[in-house]
């Protein structure tokens, strides 16, 4: 097998080049090639200095994550980096693209770093439930500040080169698209400079205040995660241990995380997110339809948020409303949202104006005639939608895609209202649509392959994580939400309290429990509006005007800062309802709540897979992570069920008399996994 590493001589400079698409991951072949390249440079007396650079879209984007959990193949990355650093000939790292994880650590093992102006450098391992395990936690605080080391390791966001240069991580910034030549010039310039600057020989200045301040500032963000604390501990260790002691400390912490379930969950999600974009049975290079102009019908909360996704990436949007007042209000909210982002420094004023300039408000559906994609976000009513799609069928140019933002209606029935069901599908955004990353792309029975592929590719362009869902009530996410809500309400009748059930879900890692979520969304959504008809606890709450946070009263009472407190009135309502329904109150354990509200979701997920309403179990995980706040470190409902043990899940379901999906029973019986 040819090595992905080649070398070139430029005078007395040896350039070691990696070309291992797609991201020059530091797999075994790359490590072996790097080691051989540096040894070649060391052995050749004519070589005075070396440059390491990568071809393709990026410098090494980290260790090869696909190797994790497999038997290690030498050389170890730490050994390669130590060899580079120990070299008695200067080694220059020439960085472009994303120098991440092990890639950042290789760069820090080099004596000098030069970077393309657009490059970024970072250690995102914490997002995989890990830490930089090849010396990053020991070298970064030795050449930059502890504060930066904490940001880079425990939060994991990449650092733009300009900042990295200012902080001393990067020695020089190359001229645009002149990295290769500038790196050779830099190497020539420092070829005789001695002593060679080695990160490991620097001292990391202690900064206990920075560490305490960092911990306090990020406590909420790190809740439930194991890796951030381990990253912080390693950086702190760098300020008091020798380099080799620090490396030992780092290794111990790294292996603890690597063997843990959280990192396994987060690594599962890394690949699940990328897998979700792939459509089984459709060639990855299928020709896509051009989407140069988008139409959005409805300028309410959803329509406005949906429009922003396209405006923010430079795709012009025509937004249509029935009434001028509603149109003005919708456009006003879009501008306010953009100005809010600018005020928080996330956008420049000229970007706000550019986005608003690309927005065309209209009261006329005919203005959508030349759109390539039209998305309706109108009132959730089948007749209204069918009538609208029939109109669009007569207006919008042939070849355009017609999408519905319905969150549970039958997309095939909507498509049947047109003469071109092959270009109709669902694009189910989540509120706030300009923020939430998940997009359920609902594939109709007649949706054409290139239409589906076009929308999936477009989703990546508007920075969404798209998942293909089949046509069934509630698609993937909402369909799994409903058994949870049903069981949560039943548990109330049997003796649990809203705060007990929510506490179990929050302790599990959810941002909030079923009842806090109902209060946030509004308990009155879908309510029959007849205060005399009390068929459920929800009816009783709505009849009393307890519609949720917006009324400062729902399943909880709320203060003016929207902090929830358990409500004695709700306890009375539940007690009253129980006695009127002749139901005896009993002790409910937290485990029973888990079994009846979470195992039932897994069971519904298995039914979705059986019915092929989702392509794969990992898509269900991606749906719940990016759309419903399922804790990242549990990998999603299906991955969690595998971790929990499918036998235990099946027993838990059967114990409560649930009909268990055959797929789940079969996997449990065969010792299989859902993922
Ligand atoms: N290992 C293996 N495969 C990888 C990979 C990696 N590090 N990074 C990307 N891929 C695959 C990915 O699965 C996809 O495959 C293809 O490359 C394109 O990726 C010891 C322990 C670099 C910013 O966490 O963040 O170093 O789906 O679709 O949007 O301390 O990939 O095409 O088959 O994401 O342009 C630390 C992970 C590792 C960076 C490019 N590094 N990668 O984004 O392309 S742990 C990371 C990314 C580590 C050491 C430790 C992004 C990217 P496929 P893509 P992109």
**Chain segment 459-483, per-residue pLDDT in tens:** 999 999 999 999 999 999 999 999 9
Q: Report the alpha-carbon distance of residue 328 to residue 458 in Å, rounded.
A: 28
* Angle between helix 498-508 and helix 514-521 axes, rounded to 10 deg: 100
Sign of CA dihedral 633, 634, 639, 642: positive
What SS3 class is residue 390? helix
Q: Ligand 1 centre and the CA of 618: distance in Å?
A: 17
pLDDT of residue 180: 98
444, 415 in Cβ contact below 8 A? yes
Answer whether 37 contacts ligand 1 (Cβ < 6 A). no
What SS3 class is residue 226? coil
pLDDT of residue 407: 95
Q: Evaluate if residue 198 carries a pLDDT over 80.
A: yes
Answer whether 158 contacts ligand 1 (Cβ < 6 A). no
274, 626 in Cβ contact below 8 A? no
Q: Ligand 1 centre and the CA of 140: distance in Å?
A: 21
- What residues have CB less than 8 Å from 639, skipping those under 6 apart? 265, 268, 269, 272, 617, 618, 621, 674, 675
| % of the chain exceeding 90 in pLDDT | 97
* Angle between helix 637-644 and helix 600-610 axes, rounded to 10 deg: 110
Residue with CA at minimum distance from ligand 1 atom 30 = 132
291, 315 in Cβ contact below 8 A? yes
Residue with CA at minimum distance from ligand 1 atom 1 = 64
Residue with CA at minimum distance from ligand 1 atom 51 = 61
618, 624 in Cβ contact below 8 A? no
Which of the residues are catalytic? 105, 125
Token readout for 2 is 């040819």
For the chain, the C-alpha Rg in angstroms (whole number) is 28
Rounded-to-5 percentages of helix, strand, coil across the chain: 50, 10, 40
Q: If pLDDT is split at 50, 70 and 90, which confidence band does 580 have? A: confident
Q: What is the atom index within ligand 1 of the atom nearest the CA of 128?
A: 24
Q: Which of 504, 35, 456, 539 is nearest to 274 (CA)?
A: 456
Which helix (H) or strand (E) segment holds residue 386: the answer is: helix 382-395
By residue count, the chain amounts to 675
Pairing mode, strands 159-160 and 112-115: unpaired
Q: Evaluate if residue 365 carries a pLDDT over 90.
A: yes
The model's pLDDT over 397-456, given as tens digits with 9 standing for 90+, comes to 999 999 999 999 999 999 999 999 999 999 999 999 999 999 999 999 999 999 999 999
Token readout for 419 is 């003469």
What SS3 class is residue 113? strand
Q: Report the alpha-carbon distance of residue 136 to residue 124 in Å, rounded.
A: 11
Answer whether 364 contacts ligand 1 (Cβ < 6 A). no
Note the helical H segments in 52-197: 77-86, 102-109, 136-143, 146-150, 161-166, 179-190
Q: Evaluate if residue 271 carries a pLDDT over 80.
A: yes
Instruction: Report in angstroms the alpha-carbon separations of 322 from 325, 330, 361, 362, 378.
Output: 9, 12, 11, 9, 10
Q: Evaluate if residue 1 carries a pLDDT over 80.
A: no
Q: If pLDDT is split at 50, 70 and 90, which confidence band does 526 have? A: confident
pLDDT of residue 78: 98
Task: Give me the chain's average pLDDT, please.
Answer: 97
How far is residue 173 CA from its own chain's centroid? 31
Give the residue, out of 4, 20, 21, 23, with the most ligand 1 atoms within 8 A of its beta carbon, to mutate for a pocket test: 23
Q: Which residue's entry shows tokens 């937004």?
A: 319
pLDDT of residue 497: 97
Q: Ligand 1 centre and the CA of 61: distance in Å?
A: 6
Burial class (CB in 10 A: 0-12, 13-18, 19+), 36: middle
* Strands of the 438-442 sheet, one edge to the other: 359-362, 317-320, 294-297, 373-376, 401-404, 424-429, 438-442, 465-469
Q: What is the atom index within ligand 1 of the atom nearest the CA of 66?
A: 2
The model's pLDDT over 547-578, given as tens digits with 9 standing for 90+, comes to 999 999 999 999 999 999 999 999 999 999 99
Q: If pLDDT is split at 50, 70 and 90, which confidence band does 141 have? A: very high
Burial class (CB in 10 A: 0-12, 13-18, 19+), 555: buried
Q: Which of 17, 39, 44 is nearest to 30 (CA)?
A: 17
Answer whether 22 contacts ligand 1 (Cβ < 6 A). yes
Pairing mode, strands 120-122 and 159-160: antiparallel
What does the DSSP assignment read for 527-593? ----TT---SHHHHHHHTT--BGGGTBSSEEE-TT--EEE-HHHHHHHHHHHHHTT-------HHHH
Give the residue, out of 22, 109, 153, 460, with the most ligand 1 atoms within 8 A of its beta carbon, to mutate for a pocket test: 22
How far is residue 81 CA from its own chain's centroid? 31
Q: What is the atom index within ligand 1 of the atom nearest the CA of 271?
A: 13
Q: Which residues pair with 374 in a beta bridge?
A: 295, 402
E runs forming strands in 221-369: 294-297, 317-320, 359-362
Q: Ligand 1 centre and the CA of 23: distance in Å?
A: 7
Burial class (CB in 10 A: 0-12, 13-18, 19+), 225: buried
């Amino acid at each position: 097998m040819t090595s992905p590493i080649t070398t070139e001589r430029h005078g007395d400079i040896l350039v070691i080049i990696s070309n291992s698409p797609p991201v020059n991951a530091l797999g075994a072949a790359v490590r072996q090639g790097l080691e051989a390249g540096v040894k070649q440079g060391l052995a050749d007396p004519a070589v005075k200095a070396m440059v390491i650079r990568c071809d393709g879209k990026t410098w090494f984007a980290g260790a090869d994550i696909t190797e994790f959990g497999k038997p290690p193949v030498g050389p170890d990355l730490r050994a390669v980096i130590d060899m580079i650093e120990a070299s008695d000939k200067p080694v220059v790292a020439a960085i472009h693209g994303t120098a991440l994880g092990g890639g950042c650590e290789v760069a820090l093992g080099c004596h000098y770093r030069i970077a393309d102006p657009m490059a970024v450098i970072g250690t995102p391992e914490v997002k995989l439930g890990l830490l930089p395990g090849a010396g990053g936690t020991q070298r970064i605080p030795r050449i930059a500040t502890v504060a930066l080391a904490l940001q880079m390791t425990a939060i994991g966001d990449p650092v733009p080169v300009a900042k990295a240069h200012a902080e001393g991580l990067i020695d020089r910034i190359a001229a645009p698209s002149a990295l290769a030549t500038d790196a050779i010039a830099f190497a020539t310039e420092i070829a005789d400079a001695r002593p060679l600057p080695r990160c490991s020989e620097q001292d990391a200045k202690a900064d206990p205040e920075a560490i305490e301040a960092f911990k306090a500032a990020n406590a909420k963000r790190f809740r439930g995660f194991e890796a951030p604390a381990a990253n912080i501990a390693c950086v702190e260790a760098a300020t008091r241990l020798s380099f080799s002691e620090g490396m030992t400390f780092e290794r111990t912490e790294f292996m603890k995380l690597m063997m843990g379930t959280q990192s396994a969950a987060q690594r599962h999600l890394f690949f699940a997110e990328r897998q979700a974009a792939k459509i089984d049975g459709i060639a990855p290079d299928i020709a896509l339809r051009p989407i140069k102009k988008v139409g959005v019908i409805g300028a309410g909360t959803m329509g406005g948020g949906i429009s922003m996704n396209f405006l923010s990436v430079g795709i012009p949007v025509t937004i249509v409303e029935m009434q001028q007042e509603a149109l003005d209000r919708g456009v006003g909210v879009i501008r306010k949202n953009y100005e809010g982002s600018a005020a928080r420094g996330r956008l420049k004023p000229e970007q706000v104006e550019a986005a608003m300039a690309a927005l065309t408000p209209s009261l006329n559906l005919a203005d959508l005639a030349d759109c390539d994609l039209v998305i309706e976000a109108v009132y959730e009513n089948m007749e209204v939608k069918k009538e609208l799609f029939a109109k669009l069928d007569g207006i919008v140019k042939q070849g355009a895609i017609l999408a519905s933002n319905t969150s549970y209606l039958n997309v095939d029935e909507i498509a049947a209202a047109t003469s071109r069901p092959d270009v109709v599908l669902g694009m189910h955004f989540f509120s706030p649509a300009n923020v939430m990353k998940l997009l359920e792309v609902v594939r109709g029975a007649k949706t054409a392959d290139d239409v589906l592929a076009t929308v999936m590719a477009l989703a990546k362009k508007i920075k969404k994580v798209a998942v293909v869902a089949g046509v069934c009530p509630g698609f993937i996410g909402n369909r799994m939400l409903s058994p949870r809500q049903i069981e949560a309400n039943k548990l109330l009748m049997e003796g649990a309290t809203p705060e007990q059930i929510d506490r179990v879900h929050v302790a599990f890692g959810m941002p909030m429990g079923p009842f806090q979520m109902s209060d946030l969304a509004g308990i009155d959504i879908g309510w029959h509006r007849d205060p005399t008809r009390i068929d459920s606890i929800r009816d009783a709450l709505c009849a009393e005007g307890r519609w949720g946070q917006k009324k400062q009263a729902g399943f909880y009472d709320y203060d003016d800062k929207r902090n929830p407190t358990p409500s004695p009135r709700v306890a009375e309502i539940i007690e009253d309802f129980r006695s009127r329904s002749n139901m005896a109150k009993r002790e409910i354990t937290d485990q029973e709540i888990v079994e009846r509200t979470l195992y039932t979701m897994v069971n519904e997920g298995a039914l979705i897979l059986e019915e092929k309403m989702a392509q794969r179990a990992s898509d269900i995980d991606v749906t719940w992570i990016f759309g419903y706040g399922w804790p990242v470190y549990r990998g999603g409902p299906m991955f969690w069920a595998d971790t929990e043990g499918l036998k235990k899940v099946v027993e838990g379901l059967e114990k409560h008399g649930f009909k268990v999906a055959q797929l789940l029973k079969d996997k449990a019986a065969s010792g299989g996994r859902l993922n």
